[in-house]
Amino acid sequence: MSGTSPSTGSGSVSIGSGSVSTASGSVGEEVLAVEGLVQHFRGRGSAWGRLRGRPPKVVKAVDGVDLVLHRGETLGLVGESGCGKSTLSRCAAGLYTPTAGVVRYARQPLHGAPDRAQRRLVQMVFQDPYSSLNPRMTVGQTLSEILTYHRLVPRAQVRARVGELIDLVGLPTRAADQLPRSFSGGQRQRIGIARALALEPQVLIADEPVSALDVSVQATIINLLLDLKETLGLSMLFVSHNMAVVRQISDRIAVMHDGVVVEEGDTSEVFEHPHDDYTRLLLASVPRIGGAPAPATAGAATERGLR
């Protein structure tokens, strides 16, 4: 890394500078933060390697990341496959216990898995809504199970609350009695969002929520997320490889490469004046309607990318 990263070393202080502005105008306090986050995965290695006493290969998926998400803000996390963005988001959601570093929810550090109260603060929306829903449970059953387990509403009102949630994400009322398989991809993603919203979280972590959808459907989900963020005052960590989508939805973005954040800043600032070489390469590679990328950067970028 060329040392231009504003985030390396200096912890969360430099990121949280007051100059950040969001679409809604004001920026609140920290709602989610990771500090010095490291997540290594240890491979099994080959049987032969184990016999010879060779150490198993360690994959450094996330290798020292500091990020802060403020109240009411959308932070876009971009990068290519294998850069560690999904691992980072899963650590932030408490699905992995990090190798080192701290995850904080509302300034309280997380010890191991989040407890019930912490779970309610941060919820996740996955890329493939179908595999993240129970195929044998109707949408209504899925949602009421969560509401009952977390004792969010009195038992008598569960049914009504399910109806509200379904309405909130723009699904027809009869959806409550249907199984996930009877919905289209876009509708399933709406169910996934309803499931996450059932806990009334403050933070939504969305890992590639629109990548599996057609463009016109993708647009409806993006609009839905923007609306929900506005009406419910959510903060969002939006993970995607799609630069165009991230540009639409994020107030700030962080670019990841090889397990570290190489550049972070206001969305328009990063898109218009990228500092890091990798960010430039990424931006130059994005196909554009009716436009070839700038020739000079693109040429240099391709050379580098081929290595």
Q: What are phi and psi of 110, to 5 degrees?
A: -90, 130
Residue 161 CB neighbours (<10 A): 16
CB of 248 to another protein, least distance (A): 4
The span from the CA of 101 to the CA of 273, in Å, is 31
User: How many helices (H) and strands (E) would you count in the chain?
Assistant: 11, 10
Is there binding between residue 47 and another protein (CB under 8 A)? no
Taking CB under 8 A as the rule, which mask of x and - marks residues 114-153 in contact with another protein? ----------------------------------------
Mapping DSSP to helix (H, G, I), strand (E, B) and coil, where does residue 260 land?
strand
Interactions with another protein, residue window 236-255 (CB under 8 A): 241-245, 247-248
* Residue of the chain from 10, 23, 42, 115 that contacts another protein (CB under 8 A): 23
Is there binding between residue 228 and another protein (CB under 8 A)? no
* Residue of the chain from 171, 194, 270, 301 that contacts another protein (CB under 8 A): 301
Interactions with another protein, residue window 167-226 (CB under 8 A): 184-185, 214-220, 222-223, 226
Of the candidates 59, 193, 30, the residue with the CA atom closest to the CA atom of residue 123: 193
Q: CA geometry: angle at 243 spanning 237 and 246, to 5°? A: 35
* Residue of the chain from 44, 292, 295, 296 that contacts another protein (CB under 8 A): 292
Which helix H or strand E contains 295, and what residues bound it? helix 295-306
**Which conformational region is residue 214 in: left (phi greater than 0), alpha (psi within -120 to 50 degrees), or beta?**
beta
Taking CB under 8 A as the rule, which mask of x and - marks residues 98-117 in contact with another protein? --------------------
Positions that interact with another protein (CB under 8 A): 23, 80-81, 184-185, 214-220, 222-223, 226, 241-245, 247-248, 267-268, 271, 281-292, 298, 301-302, 305-306
